[in-house]
C-alpha cells in the first residue's frame, strides 16, 4: 500500500481526496496497489468533515514519516510550496504538483533533485488542467522538433471571454461566476492579467526547447483592457477574441507572447469555449496536432493529479526523465513575428492610409468618433513604426 500526504485542502486538494475515494478500486488496479491518503496539511480545521481525522498543521509530521512515499502539493504559489516540495524530494519522497508558479520558477532544480534520488517530480496539471500535455511533450512527441505551440491556457479568462461574447455579459459578473466555479486563482489578477497563462507557456516552451525560460521575460497582456466595444468589432469581422499564449521557433530562437488575439473561424482555437483549454502544437515531422479538454476546475484537475500519482507508483525506483535543463533560453524578439493588426482610431482615413497603406475599415452602427481598422500582415516592429505616424489610436489587438 502506498501512503500519500496531501498539502492543501482547497479546490484541487479536496478534489484529489475525492478522486482517490470515489475511484479507489479502479485506481488500485491501475497502480498495482492500493493508494491511501494518510495526511492532509492545511492551516484550517474541517469539523464535521471526515477529512478532519487526516488533518495535520505541522509539515514536519509529513516529511519525517518514512511511511509517506508520495507528496501531493496543491497549495499553489511559490512559498511555502517550494520549501515543502524540495524537502520532500530531498527526503526521498516523490511529488505530484498542480502548481505552475512553482514549476515555472523552480522546475529544473526540482527535476534534478528527483533524478539524483531516482524518484519522480511530476507536474502534469501545471498546464492545461485535465489535458495531458506535459506527458505528451515529454514522451509522445520526442521525435519532433516542436516549431509552434499556441494555446488557450487559462480557463477563467476563456470562460469570461466566451460569456462576454455570447451573452454580452459584464466583466465583473463573469469573473465572479468563474471564481464561484473554482476556476480562478486565489487572486484572480493572475488569470485576468495573463500571468497564469504566461507561466504555463513558459513551462511548455521550456519542455519543448529543453532549457529554462524565464517567464518574466515573456511579453504578457491580459484581458482587463478588453471592452464590450472590442468584442462588437470582433463580431462584425466574424472573429472572436481569445487570450492566446504563443511560442514559436524562429531563425533567431524561440519567441513567446501572451495577449488577447482576434481569431477567425479558420483558426484551430476558434471553437474552444467556456472553461475549456486547448493546445495546438506544430512539429517538424508530425505537422499539426491539437489537445483539448477541461482546463480548470476541481475534478478535471484532480483527476490528472491522481494520474500523476499512479505514474509515480508505476515508476517506483525509476526516474521518468524530463528534458529540461537549468540553462537559460534567451528569447528572440516576439515583435518579429508577422500578423495582422486591428486598431480603433480617431485618425482620418487619409492619415491611416498614409501610415498603413491598404487597410479594411470596420464601422459599427451607433459608434462615432472612431473607426475600426484591419491592417495587412506585417511584423510588430513594422506596425510600431507605422502606428507612430498616427495620433488617435485607442486600442490595438493582434489578429490571426
Distance CA(339)–CA(301), nearest Å, equals: 34
CB of 15 to ligand HSE, least distance (A): 12
Binding pattern to ligand HSE, positions 106-145, x when CB under 6 A? -----------------------x----------------
**Cβ closest to ligand HSE, residue 308 vs residue 380:** 308
Considering only 67-75, 162-170, 182-190, 226-234, which stretch makes contact with ligand HSE by CB under 6 A?
182-190
Rounded Cα–Cα distance for residues 282 and 73 (Å): 31
| 266 included as an active-site residue | no
Q: Does 103 bind ligand HSE (CB under 6 A)?
A: no
Stretch that binds ligand HSE, among 110-118, 177-185, 229-237, 243-251 (CB under 6 A): 177-185
Contact between 370 and ligand HSE per CB under 6 A: no
Handedness of CA 92, 95, 100, 101 (dihedral sign): negative
Tell me which stretch binds ligand HSE (CB under 6 A): 132-140, 179-187, 227-235, 327-335: 179-187
Closer residue to ligand HSE in complex, CB, 69/154: 154
Compute how many residues bind ligand HSE; rule: CB under 6 A.
11
* 240 Cα distance to chain centroid: 20
Residues 269-288 that bind ligand HSE (CB under 6 A): none
Told to check if 295 binds ligand HSE by CB under 6 A, we report: yes
- Dihedral of CA atoms 142, 144, 145, 150 in degrees, nearest 10, equals -90
3-class SS at 103? helix
Pinpoint the alpha helices (H) of the chain.
11-22, 24-31, 59-63, 81-90, 100-117, 134-135, 155-167, 171-180, 189-192, 195-209, 228-236, 298-314, 349-356, 380-387
In whole angstroms, give the CA distance from residue 68 to residue 343: 57
Q: How many CB atoms lie within 10 A of CB 52?
A: 11
Q: Of 162, 287, 141, whose CA–CA distance to 204 is shortest?
A: 141
State yes or no: residue 341 binds ligand HSE (CB under 6 A): no
> Minimum distance between the CB of residue 200 and ligand HSE, rounded to whole angstroms?
7
- φ/ψ (deg, to 5) at 163: -65, -35
Residue from 59, 183, 334, 341 in contact with ligand HSE (CB under 6 A): 183
Binding test (CB under 6 A) with ligand HSE, winner from 94, 154, 206, 212 = 154
What does the alpha-carbon distance between residue 176 and residue 340 come to, in Å, rounded to a whole number? 33
296 belongs to the binding site for ligand HSE (CB under 6 A) = yes
Q: Is 195 among the residues that bind ligand HSE (CB under 6 A)?
A: no
Evaluate whether 64 touches 89 at the Cβ level (below 8 Å): no
97 and 302 Cβ atoms separated by less than 8 Å: no
Among residues 200, 265, 328, 336, the one annotated as catalytic is: 200
Question: Contact with ligand HSE (CB under 6 A): which of 13, 76, 151, 155?
Answer: 155
DSSP helix/strand/coil, 220: strand
Residue nearest to ligand HSE (CB): 156
**Is residue 4 a contact point for ligand HSE (CB under 6 A)?**
no
CB 156 → ligand HSE: shortest distance, Å? 3
Q: Is residue 212 within 8 Å of residue 108, measured between CB atoms?
A: yes
- What is the nearest approach in angstroms of ligand HSE to the Cβ of residue 296? 4
Hey, CA dihedral for 98, 99, 102, 103, is it positive or negative?
positive
Backbone dihedral angles phi then psi of residue 123, each to the nearest 5 degrees: -145, 40
User: Which of these segments, 13-21, 183-191, 286-294, 333-341, binds ligand HSE (CB under 6 A)?
Assistant: 183-191
* 191 binding ligand HSE? (CB under 6 A): yes
193 lines the binding site for ligand HSE (CB under 6 A):
no
Pick the stretch among 104-112, 132-140, 184-192, 280-288 that binds ligand HSE (CB under 6 A).
184-192
Query: What CA–CA distance (Å, rounded) separates 94 from 77?
Result: 19
CB 19 → ligand HSE: shortest distance, Å? Answer: 16
Angle at 294 between CA 292 and CA 297, to 5 degrees: 160
Please report how close the Cβ of residue 108 comes to ligand HSE at its closest, in angstroms. Answer: 21
The residues carrying an active-site annotation are: 200
- Residues in touch with ligand HSE (CB under 6 A): 129, 154-156, 183-185, 191, 196, 295-296
Amino acid at each position: 500500500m502506498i501512503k500519500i500526504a496531501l498539502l492543501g485542502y482547497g479546490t484541487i486538494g479536496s478534489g484529489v481526496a475525492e478522486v482517490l475515494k470515489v475511484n479507489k478500486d479502479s485506481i488500485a488496479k491501475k497502480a498495482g496497489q492500493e493508494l491511501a491518503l494518510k495526511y492532509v496539511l492545511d492551516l484550517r480545521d474541517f469539523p464535521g468533515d471526515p477529512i478532519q481525522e487526516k488533518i495535520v498543521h505541522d509539515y514536519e509530521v509529513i516529511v519525517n514519516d518514512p511511511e509517506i512515499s508520495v507528496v501531493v502539493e496543491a497549495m499553489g504559489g511559490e512559498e511555502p510550496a517550494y520549501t515543502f516540495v524540495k524537502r520532500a524530494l530531498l527526503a526521498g519522497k516523490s511529488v505530484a504538483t498542480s502548481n505552475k508558479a512553482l514549476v515555472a520558477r523552480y522546475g529544473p532544480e526540482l527535476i534534478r533533485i528527483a533524478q539524483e534520488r531516482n524518484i519522480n517530480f511530476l507536474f502534469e496539471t501545471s498546464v492545461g488542467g485535465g489535458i495531458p500535455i506535459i506527458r505528451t511533450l515529454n514522451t509522445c512527441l520526442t521525435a519532433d522538433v516542436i516549431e509552434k505551440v499556441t494555446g488557450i491556457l487559462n480557463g477563467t479568462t476563456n470562460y469570461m471571454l466566451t460569456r462576454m461574447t455570447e451573452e454580452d455579459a459584464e466583466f465583473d459578473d463573469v469573473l465572479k461566476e468563474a471564481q464561484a466555479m473554482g476556476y480562478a486563482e486565489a487572486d484572480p489578477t493572475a488569470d485576468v492579467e495573463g500571468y497564469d497563462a504566461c507561466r504555463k507557456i513558459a513551462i511548455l516552451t521550456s519542455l519543448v526547447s529543453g532549457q529554462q525560460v524565464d517567464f518574466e521575460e515573456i511579453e504578457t497582456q491580459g484581458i482587463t483592457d478588453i471592452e464590450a466595444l472590442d468584442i462588437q468589432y470582433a463580431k462584425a469581422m466574424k472573429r472572436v477574441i481569445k487570450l492566446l499564449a504563443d511560442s514559436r521557433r524562429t531563425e533567431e530562437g524561440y519567441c513567446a507572447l501572451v495577449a488577447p488575439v482576434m481569431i477567425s473561424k479558420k483558426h484551430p482555437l476558434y471553437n474552444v469555449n467556456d472553461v475549456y483549454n486547448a493546445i495546438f502544437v506544430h512539429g517538424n515531422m508530425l505537422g499539426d496536432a491539437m489537445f483539448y479538454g477541461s482546463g480548470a476546475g476541481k475534478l478535471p484537475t484532480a483527476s490528472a493529479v491522481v494520474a500523476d500519482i499512479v505514474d509515480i507508483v508505476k515508476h517506483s525506483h525509476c526516474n521518468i526523465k524530463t528534458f529540461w535543463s537549468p540553462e537559460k533560453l534567451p528569447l528572440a524578439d516576439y515583435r518579429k513575428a508577422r500578423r495582422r493588426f486591428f486598431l480603433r482610431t480617431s485618425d482620418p482615413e487619409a492619415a491611416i492610409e498614409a501610415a498603413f497603406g491598404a487597410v479594411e475599415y470596420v464601422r459599427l452602427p451607433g459608434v462615432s468618433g472612431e473607426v475600426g481598422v484591419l491592417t495587412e500582415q506585417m511584423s510588430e516592429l513594422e506596425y510600431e513604426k507605422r502606428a507612430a505616424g498616427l495620433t488617435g489610436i485607442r486600442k490595438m489587438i493582434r489578429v490571426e
